């Protein structure tokens, strides 16, 4: 219960922080809007006693789902220290139309369960770069709440995420995300998730609001 109270406190802090940061802007420029579709396939494999390796392949389109945004490939390793604590490191490469983007990340995930609710807080440090440009460093905080419905195959969830960019020159929020969706345990080895996401860029020139329809399929190789 102590851990749950801490997670709930962080949830309310996060919920209050996002709108305050958004409305604190002065002379907000006109927001552009777009619709995107993201699809991905994830493969997972446990090894040793507390470790899990995973691979994700993703295909994304934008410009009202008419143009290729990127092809993604990601490798990750997760250490499951406790039921409520996980640590993950990963590398992702993204092939876009005119350049290739690299990303390194480290995650610390805290989660708690009460009745049929599950609350998770993912803390991520991320560096992304293109060979010809300076790297960007982010702290990403995501809070997710899901609910397991008795004798029903779909588990609904909501989540919110903030991207905070930090550097020697400037530190500021650059993006907020909000998700709603459900997860379906097809079998003991396979899961399907469908979500709808709103992404808002802030504190940047020509900010974008993207509406994303996402589909994720996960298969365990165990």
Dihedral angle over CA of 71, 76, 80, 81, nearest 10: -130
Best CA proximity match to 110, nearest among 12, 3, 1, 2: 3
Note down the domain range covering 186.
2-24+34-220
Is there a contact between 152 and 171 (Cβ–Cβ < 8 Å)? no
- Reported as a single tens digit per residue, the pLDDT across 121-158 is 999 999 999 998 899 999 999 999 999 999 899 999 99
Give the CA distances from residue 20 to residues 27, 28, 174, in Å, rounded to whole numbers and listed in that order.
Answer: 15, 14, 14
Is a pLDDT exceeding 70 seen at residue 43? yes
- With a pLDDT cut of 90, the percent of the chain lying above it is 77
Q: Is residue 202 part of a domain?
A: yes
Task: For residues 99 and 196, give the distance between their C-alpha atoms in angstroms, rounded to a whole number.
Answer: 27
Judged on CB neighbours under 10 Å (0-12, 13-18, 19+), 151 is: exposed
* Cβ-based neighbour number of residue 17 at 10 Å: 16
pLDDT at res. 149: 94
Q: Is residue 29 part of a domain?
A: no
End-to-end CA distance of the chain: 32
Which of 12-26, 146-160, 185-199 has the weakest average pLDDT?
12-26
Q: Is residue 10 part of a domain?
A: yes
- Whole-prediction pTM value? 0.85
Residues 6 or more apart whose CB falls under 8 angstroms from that of 35 comprise: 62, 64, 65, 210, 211, 212, 213
Q: Is residue 210 part of a domain?
A: yes
Match 């397991």 to its residue by tokens. 148
Q: Is residue 163 part of a domain?
A: yes
Task: Count structural domains, the chain.
Answer: 1
Q: Is residue 65 part of a domain?
A: yes
CA atoms within 13 A on the CB side of 168: 2
Is a pLDDT exceeding 50 seen at residue 186? yes
Write b or e for each residue in 81-105: b if 16 or more Cβ atoms lie within 10 A of its Cβ, otherwise e: eeeeebebebebebeeeeeebebeb
**DSSP H helical segments within 32-189, as ranges?**
none
Q: Is residue 134 part of a domain?
A: yes
In CATH, what number is assigned to the domain containing residue 139? 2.40.160.40
Q: Is residue 80 part of a domain?
A: yes
């Amino acid at each position: 219960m102590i851990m749950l109270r801490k997670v709930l406190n962080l949830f309310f802090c996060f919920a209050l922080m996002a709108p305050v940061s958004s409305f604190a802007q002065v002379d907000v420029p006109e927001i552009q809007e777009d619709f995107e579709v993201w699809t991905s396939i994830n493969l997972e494999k446990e090894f040793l006693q507390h470790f899990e390796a995973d691979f994700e392949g993703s295909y994304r389109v934008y410009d009202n789902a008419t143009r290729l945004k990127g092809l993604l490939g990601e490798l990750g390793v997760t250490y499951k220290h406790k039921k409520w604590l996980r640590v993950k490191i990963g590398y992702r490469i993204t092939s876009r139309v005119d350049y290739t983007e690299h990303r390194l990340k480290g995650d610390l995930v805290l989660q708690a369960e009460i009745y049929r609710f599950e609350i998770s807080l993912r803390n991520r440090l991320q560096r992304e770069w293109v060979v010809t440009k300076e790297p960007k460093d982010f702290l990403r905080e995501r809070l997710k709440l899901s609910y397991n419905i008795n004798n029903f195959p779909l588990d609904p969830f909501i989540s919110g995420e903030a991207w905070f960019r930090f550097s020697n020159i400037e530190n500021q929020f650059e993006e907020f995300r909000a998700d709603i969706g459900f997860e379906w345990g097809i079998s003991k080895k396979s899961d399907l998730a469908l979500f709808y996401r709103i992404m808002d860029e802030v504190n940047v020139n020509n900010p974008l609001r993207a509406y994303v329809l996402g589909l994720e399929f996960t298969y365990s190789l165990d």
